[in-house]
Amino acid sequence: MERRRPQMLIEKLAGSQIVQMSEHITIASDMGLRQLTTSDVAHVKARTEPLARCHTPLARIAIRVKGRTRFVSTDCVLVIRAQGNYVLLQCESGSYLLRESITAIQRQLEPYGFVRIHRSVLVNRSWVEEIRPYLTGDYGLRMRGGKEFKVTRTYKYNLKSLAELWLSNDSFLDR
């Protein structure tokens, strides 16, 4: 009877190949072979997820404007503001009003680096330059170009997603 080979999962991680065969993982690298358990793999995946998030592919948003469809890259969108039953996409090249809720837009654009900082504001994290705490418990967020937004206490924990790595002894978000 022919023996069936286990299904293999191959991923590329920092110059090494991870090959999963049933319960064990073998990492082939320049330094030789080493076997890891599945808990080790979970640890490696947890460490590399932030890197994968920052390399998400750019998306294009299709917007209907005066009978035509306009394509806008997500990296060109600075901020999205709620205006009643509409949202206003503010881009480098102009603004577009869409009939959509801010919650629905948030769900669609979160994987592309958009962060909710207020009940009526989403920002593109690649445009954020600085976070400033206020005495009231709220925060100020400054974008490239000098535009500032208020981050309310409800959404302050979303600020952690603005960077993959925080280098500081003072973690103001843990207060």
Domain map of the chain by residue range?
Answer: 9-54, 60-168
pLDDT of residue 61: 87
pTM here is 0.63
CA 65 vs. chain centroid, Å, equals 28
Report the half-sphere exposure of 26 (CA within 13 A, side-chain side). Answer: 8
User: What are the residues whose beta carbons fall under 8 Å from the beta carbon of 95, sequence distance 6 or more?
Assistant: 88, 89
pLDDT of residue 118: 94
CA 131 vs. chain centroid, Å, equals 17
Q: Is residue 166 helix, strand or coil?
A: coil
User: What are the residues whose beta carbons fall under 8 Å from the beta carbon of 94, sequence distance 6 or more?
Assistant: none
Determine the Cα–Cα distance for residues 155 and 53; give it in Å rounded to an integer: 20
Low-confidence residues of the chain: pLDDT under 50: 1-31, 55
**The domain 60-168 belongs to what CATH superfamily?**
LytTr DNA-binding domain (2.40.50.1020)
Determine the Cα–Cα distance for residues 78 and 123; give it in Å rounded to an integer: 6
* Pairing verdict, β 32-37 and 24-29: antiparallel
User: What are the residues whose beta carbons fall under 8 Å from the beta carbon of 9, sequence distance 6 or more?
Assistant: 18, 19, 20
pLDDT of residue 66: 86
Question: Phi-psi category of 141—alpha, beta or left, where left has phi over 0 and alpha has psi -120 to 50?
Answer: beta
Residue type, 149: F
Q: Which helix (H) or strand (E) holds 43?
A: helix 38-54
pLDDT of residue 148: 93
